[in-house]
Amino acid sequence: METSAEKTEQFSQKLCDILNYGALNTAMGIGYASGAFEALATFDEPALCESIALKGGLDDRYLQEWLGVMVTGGIVEVIEEDGDEFYFLPKEYVPLLTRSGGNANLGVYTQEIPLLTKCGLNEIVSGMETGEGVGYEQYQPFYAFMEELANAKHEQVLVDTFLPSVQNGAIVERLKQGIRVCDIGCADGLVLHLMAKEYPNSTFVGFDIAEASIQKAQERAEVLGLKNVQFMVQDAGTEAVEAEQFDYIMAFDSIHDQTRPFEALKNIQMMLKQGGVFSMVDIAASSSVAQNKDHPMGAFLYTVSLMHCMPVGLVDNGMGLGMMWGEEQALALCSVAGFSSTEVHDIPEDDFNSHYLCHK
């Protein structure tokens, strides 16, 4: 049986690991944003710090300190020869740490926690006592990052992979023929820009509460010459909506951020025509913390939720669902909102999310 002293020693070691990995995440985020990983990836052989700095257009003194973090963190390898140190990023790591990796790229996510800390740490600490939410306006740098991340993903998989997986391709056939589609939480409108171009016989409407995003989306649609798409400033959870106006509605990682998610789901159900479907893409997790103990990125996702998703959902006495609201609660809310049935599907090339296909 494990003694108390042994348990204390093990936890002490775990705390050391946490401090090291927390610091490593910050430094990796810096390396990703500055292009240091990209510079390292261009070398087939171990290289001097000065050579890597020159290749990446970086300051060699900053890079030297950063490389110290990467080496001691087990990310970059170092070889010492005749007093010189040569650094090397294993080729096996390159797709996981650089933009060239596409969907395999996890390095981009190292920027999330530092960004969220910059945006709202003091407000979250205060909220731990007061229970107050944190407004969207607090998170503008984070939204710019997430918008870029989501857009890159949509450009890769939306038309060629995700939509063909919906109803085994049936929704694509309907889009080709011509239906009315809505995107809830459309941000800068890329999803609908892509769809409006691909399916000219269909018409598309985007809802978002951010006026700047809606203006950007509309301006981009005009530049692209898209006549079958429009964007509106509207809160799906708090404003009146017209019933039975859409054949297909989508929400990509936006329902859990709503202050009134149940009302949003009810309005979505109301806006659907009879026989219409709603694609809700949201985090793949359980509603139970105990059931999420072995989630491979549980601590990361709960932290993002704590730092952003839950507090924005608490504004104006909102529900504060949080990112990890989970499958059980999602299915329950969809049922109470009036959907006749909801199917849960895996998403091709997306391990983070589940696709809740809701029927009216």
Single-letter amino acid, residue 334: C
Q: Residue 279: which region, alpha, beta or left (left: phi > 0; alpha: psi -120 to 50)?
A: beta
Q: How far apart are CA 157 and CA 304, in angstroms?
A: 24
What mean pLDDT is predicted for residues 323-343? 97
Q: Is the dihedral of CA 344, 347, 352, 358 positive or negative?
A: negative
What mean pLDDT is predicted for residues 123-138? 96
Say what percent of the chain tops pLDDT 90: 89
Residue 62 confidence class, pLDDT cut points 50, 70, 90: very high
The pLDDT of residue 159 is above 80: yes
Structure tokens at 185: 């939480």
Residue 104 confidence class, pLDDT cut points 50, 70, 90: confident
Work out the number of other CB atoms within 10 angstroms of the CB of residue 174.
19
* Pair type for strands 180-184 and 246-252: parallel
The pLDDT of residue 189 is above 80: yes
Residue identified by tokens 């999602």 is 330
Residue 107 confidence (pLDDT):
93
Residues 6 or more apart whose CB falls under 8 angstroms from that of 171 comprise: 163, 248, 277
Residue 349 confidence (pLDDT):
82
Single-letter amino acid, residue 217: A
- 312 backbone dihedrals φ, ψ, rounded to 5°: -70, -30
Q: When comparing pLDDT for 236 and 46, which is higher?
A: 46
Q: Give the single-character DSSP code of 189.
A: -
Residue 103 confidence (pLDDT):
76
Q: Which helix (H) or strand (E) holds 350?
A: strand 350-359
- Predicted confidence (pLDDT) per residue in 145-156, tens digit: 988 888 888 998
Single-letter amino acid, residue 66: W
Q: How far apart are CA 203 and CA 181, in angstroms?
A: 6
- What does pTM read for this prediction? 0.92
What mean pLDDT is predicted for residues 175-201? 97
The pLDDT of residue 100 is above 90: no
Q: How far apart are CA 348 and CA 71, in angstroms?
A: 35
Q: How far apart are CA 254 and CA 257, in angstroms?
A: 5
Percent of residues in the chain assigned helix, strand, coil, to nearest 5: 55, 20, 25
Single-letter amino acid, residue 115: L
The pLDDT of residue 241 is above 90: no
Single-letter amino acid, residue 357: L
- Predicted confidence (pLDDT) per residue in 242-297, tens digit: 899 999 999 999 999 999 999 999 999 999 999 999 999 999 999 999 999 999 99
Q: How far apart are CA 126 and CA 6, in angstroms?
A: 36
Work out the number of other CB atoms within 10 angstroms of the CB of residue 144.
12
What mean pLDDT is predicted for residues 215-228? 96
Q: Report yes or no: 190 and 231 within 8 Å, Cβ to Cβ.
A: no
The pLDDT of residue 185 is above 90: yes
Residues 6 or more apart whose CB falls under 8 angstroms from that of 34 comprise: 56, 58
